[in-house]
């Protein structure tokens, strides 16, 4: 896939989000408020970050929009699917993330965003009970109905391009099955055979989006596009895919803090992470089968940054098997906290002559406040990638994701170190702006 400059955006950009809960309503409200000058899109790299282009006398530090042709906030048109019929205003009120003073000035625009019926299977999220749900004969019919939704949205709004973003709940864990997920042909056959066990609803959304010429972003840890069949579809349709799981709180800390331990050559005996949260995400994750999906995504971060094989003296101890530090992740559903998540990390390290020390990190974060700018960045950068002719897995978006997609069939190791991910992001922006990708990942 050749590196090329991105084409300038024409017309409006449709942003279709699966799930109109706390994250999505906060994302939409923030964009609408920012457009009116009522709020600032703090936390968004595309709106604030500056990166260097050129070297020596030619060196300058520019905002992304001055390097690449990003879509403007004014050009975004929102749509959504959800199992609950509440519009974006009602959803924002119900979520209790934003105060009335921030929602009321944009009430009319939010009320106009009414969710389409969701493609839903209760077996994948047993704790959700909405009735705004499509009646589908089988998984293939599910795909066809979503495709029709995308076409209708384009027609009704007149948008030029669409990006589809999954910001719905974590589905039950679907292990990759080579027989079903290994090729596009097998995946399509399974959809037509209504293989509910191997084909999650999210796969139907992804298949529909890519088939309709829309990049697809997986904001949960679902298997969805992280299978060879979807990579094949992305190649065939020349569409970008990105995932998986928004990197908002605890994992952001982990991907930024683990390099401190590694760079300073300190030893690690164990890292225990636990969270409490009370929003819909927490409710769904209280189901063990759904938590399993999240656990796999959260556990993978550390192991690719602090690698026991690379430094056995530093990271080769801690577990019962004595081959690696002990790493545990827990999420606890605790309704009183609602969207205000709390993450505790207890890190047992050791230093000179093996003497033990501890680090404690307590992050009192707001889940949706951290996720909303990621939604914006992922949408704008996926749209940009598509206009630059980039397709398949967008590794440069790893910075925003907990469990970055990679070709595990070829034993590729994902980059989880936040600072290396940032280099990948900057290099891609440079290339899409017609500059040289001039930073190396060490």
For 228-274, how does the pLDDT look when each residue is reduced to its tens digit (9 = 90+)? Answer: 999 999 999 999 999 999 999 889 999 999 999 999 999 999 999 99
**pLDDT tier for residue 300 given thresholds of 50, 70 and 90:** confident
Two domains, one topology: 13-246+369-432 and 250-366: no
Q: Where are the domains of the chain?
A: 13-246+369-432, 250-366
Q: Is the pLDDT of residue 277 over 90?
A: no
Q: Report the chain's mean pLDDT, rounded to a whole number.
A: 94
What pLDDT does residue 3 have?
A: 64
Q: Is the pLDDT of residue 320 over 60?
A: no
332-336: Cβ within 8 A, 24+ apart: 332/274, 332/275, 332/276, 332/277, 332/282, 333/276, 333/277, 333/278, 333/282, 333/283, 333/285, 333/286, 334/276, 334/277, 334/278, 334/282, 335/278, 335/282, 336/278
Question: Facing residues of 268 across strands?
Answer: 349
**pLDDT tier for residue 367 given thresholds of 50, 70 and 90:** very high
Tell me the whole-structure pTM to 2 decimals: 0.95
Q: Which residues of 283-322 are buried (b: 16+ CB within 10 A; e: fewer)?
A: bbbebeebbbbbbbbbebbbbbbbbbeeeeebbbbbeeee
Q: For 13-246+369-432, give the CATH class.
A: alpha beta
What pLDDT does residue 359 have?
A: 98
Residue 262 Cα to chain centre, angstroms: 26
CATH topology for the 250-366 domain: Dihydrodipicolinate Reductase; domain 2 (3.30.360)
What pLDDT does residue 322 have?
A: 65
Q: Is the pLDDT of residue 321 over 70?
A: no
For 162-207, how does the pLDDT look when each residue is reduced to its tens digit (9 = 90+)? Answer: 999 999 999 999 999 999 999 999 999 999 999 999 999 999 999 9
The span from the CA of 399 to the CA of 419, in Å, is 8
Q: Is the pLDDT of residue 149 over 90?
A: yes
């Amino acid at each position: 896939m050749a590196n090329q400059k991105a084409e300038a955006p024409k017309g409006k950009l449709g942003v279709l989000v699966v799930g109109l809960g706390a994250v999505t309503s906060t994302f939409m409200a923030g964009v609408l408020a920012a457009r009116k000058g009522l709020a600032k899109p703090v936390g968004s790299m595309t709106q604030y970050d500056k990166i260097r282009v050129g070297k020596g006398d030619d060196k300058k530090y520019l905002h992304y929009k001055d390097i690449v042709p990003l879509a403007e906030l004014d050009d975004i048109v929102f749509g959504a699917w959800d199992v609950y019929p509440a519009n974006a205003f009602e959803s924002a009120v119900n979520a209790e993330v934003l105060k009335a003073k921030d929602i009321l000035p944009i009430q009319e625009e939010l009320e106009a965003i009414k969710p389409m019926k969701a493609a839903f299977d209760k077996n994948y999220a047993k704790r959700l009970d909405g009735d705004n749900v499509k009646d589908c004969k089988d998984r293939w019919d599910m795909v066809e109905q979503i495709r029709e939704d995308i076409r209708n949205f384009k027609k009704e709004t007149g948008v030029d391009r669409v990006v589809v973003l999954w910001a719905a709940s974590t589905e039950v864990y679907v292990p990759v099955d080579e027989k079903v997920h290994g090729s596009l042909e097998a995946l399509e056959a399974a959809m037509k055979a209504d293989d509910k066990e191997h084909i999650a609803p999210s796969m139907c959304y992804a298949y529909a989006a890519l088939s309709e010429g829309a990049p697809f972003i997986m904001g949960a840890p679902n298997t969805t596009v992280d299978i060879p069949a979807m990579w094949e579809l992305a190649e065939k349709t020349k569409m970008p895919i990105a995932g998986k799981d928004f990197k908002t709180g605890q994992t952001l800390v982990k991907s930024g803090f683990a390099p401190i331990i590694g760079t300073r050559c300190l030893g690690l005996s164990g890292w225990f992470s636990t969270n409490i949260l009370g929003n819909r995400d927490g409710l769904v994750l209280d189901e063990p089968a759904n938590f399993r999906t999240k656990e796999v995504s959260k556990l993978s971060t550390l192991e690719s940054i602090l690698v026991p094989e690379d430094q056995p003296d530093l990271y080769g101890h801690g577990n019962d098997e004595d081959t690696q530090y002990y790493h545990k992740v827990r999420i606890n559903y605790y309704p009183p906290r609602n969207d205000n998540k709390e993450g505790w990390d207890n890190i047992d390290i050791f230093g000179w002559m093996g003497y033990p020390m501890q680090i404690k990190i307590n992050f009192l974060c707001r889940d949706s406040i951290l996720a909303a700018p990621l939604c914006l960045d992922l949408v704008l950068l996926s749209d940009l990638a598509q206009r630059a002719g980039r397709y398949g897995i967008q590794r440069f978006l790893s910075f925003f994701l907990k469990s970055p997609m990679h070709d595990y069939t070829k034993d590729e190791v994902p980059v989880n170190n936040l600072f290396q991910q940032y280099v990948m992001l900057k290099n891609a922006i440079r290339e899409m702006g017609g500059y040289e990708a001039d930073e190396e990942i060490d």
